[in-house]
Amino acid sequence: MEKSKKLGARLTFNLILFGLMGQIAWAVENQFFNTFLFNDVGGTPKDISHMVAWSAVAAVLTTLIMGTLSDKVNKRKLFICGGYIFWGFTVIAFAFITRENIASLLGIDDKERIRIMTVNAVIIMDCLMTFMGSTGNDAAFNAWVTDITCDENRATTESILSLVGVFAMVAVTVAFPMCAEGFGYPVCFEALGGLVILCGIIGLFTVKDSLSGEKKESNFFGDLIYGFRPSVVKDNKPLYLALASVGVYNIAVQCFFPYIFIYLQHHLGFDFNKIGEALTPATIGIAVVAVIVVVVGLILIGKLIDKFGKALFVFPTIIIFVAGLTFAFFAKSLGIFALAAIPVLVGYGLLMIILNAAVRDFTPEDKVGQFQGIRMIFQVLLPMVIGPAIGNFVIERFADGTYTNDYGEIVNVPVPAIFLASAIVSVVILIPVIALRKTWQAKAEELKQENK
């Protein structure tokens, strides 16, 4: 597919469709699989940490293997659409994981053993779901996006993907708790799985493959380990600095993200079941205006980043993010926390745009699929192993309250210190970003000369 500096309607439609459904599915997995495990199954913060870590390992291995395979087969569409279709079926499978079903299936009646085996079933199924999701989204769709974009439109593209990520988070935050409360988790999983399957089917008719389809004659194992070679790291130093920035950023996010809804519910007393009652005409109107402002703002910022370069925006964004997290640490009420969430979300969104676009800029065009696995090590594996472990350590070290789940088991409630830990980690982003500054400035100057 020939690259264009402008994003056409068809390309934008597929960015929104696959980006939105992928982010909705990942948001449910990252947030409400945790609450599902915590509340309905009887898991603990430690179980959540284990699930997140194993899921991260599955995501990285899948993306490394399937991304490299999509390069070798020289097709993206097959992996995107097929991955999404099977992804949907694995989401639906969660509807059937209950303590009662596991006890019946394994023929056990000891309550603690049933709890442990149900927790294990959720973790194993989460890994299988991650395999399908990472094949379609992380390995193929993300490689496809890099294939069809260029330096002049990548920040704009990332702003679109960031927007659908925000919409996905809002939609999941509002709709999923209401659905779970009204109909139960099984119905929610079945509905979500059906939508993901539908997305994959639509893509069969709308996605235009970015590769030729002519199989590459190369050594698969050699391709698989390509990104780990010291010589490759040396020759692609800006790429690995960008990946390091992404890694630190995501570790910071994962210090609090897996525990955020449990924190809101059990520390700040937010009642997710009353979201529907708050949806008055006035609040809906305010929300619509806010959404329009966010959409216009992020698109404009994306275009400004493409025009003036990433170095100009990255340092103020890091300051905003760290300040917001520090503010969240001191927030003692829902109202103050909501104010703190504004700079956190602004910093979160802008850093995502800048750093992800930087990774795409520095990825070799002929080996995009092979580097998706390397990207996932920094974007998912290390953050989702290290971040939740830091969060869990902080929770256990500074726990000041407990929660009795639906099974009468006492577990620790997340504490505000997870946001302070995240802020401290976020400061480390400055190290690789400072090393990248000259490269970014040189690249911006090149683009300026080309556009004259």
Q: Return d(Cα 386, Cα 215) in angstroms, integer.
A: 38
- Contact between 353 and 155 (Cβ < 8 Å): yes
The DSSP code for 412 is E
pLDDT value at position 449?
Answer: 63
DSSP 37: I
Q: What is the pLDDT of residue 315?
A: 93
Are the beta carbons of 139 and 70 closer than 8 angstroms? Answer: yes
Q: Where are the beta strands (DSSP E) in 321-419?
A: 402-404, 410-412
Question: Residue 9's pLDDT is what?
Answer: 84
Q: Please check whether residue 357 is in contact with residue 305, taking contact to mean a CB–CB distance below 8 angstroms.
A: yes
Question: For tokens 């205006």, what's the residue?
Answer: 289
Residues written for the chain: 452
Main-chain phi, psi angles of 97, to 5 degrees: -95, 105
Q: What is the pLDDT of residues 172-181, one digit of tens each?
A: 877 887 887 7
3-state helix, strand, coil in the chain (%, to 5): 85, 0, 15
Closest CA relative to residue 411, chosen from 16, 38, 20 = 38
What does the alpha-carbon distance between residue 443 and residue 310 come to, in Å, rounded to a whole number? Answer: 10
Q: Based on the number of CB atoms within 10 Å of its own CB, is 451 exposed (0-12), middle (13-18) or buried (19 or more)?
A: exposed
pLDDT computed for residue 241 by the predictor: 94
Which of the residues in the chain have pLDDT under 50? none
* pLDDT computed for residue 403 by the predictor: 67
For the record, the structure tokens of 111 come out as: 């309550």
Q: What is the pLDDT of residue 273?
A: 63
pLDDT of res. 150: 79
Nearest-angstrom CA–CA distance, 145 and 364? 14
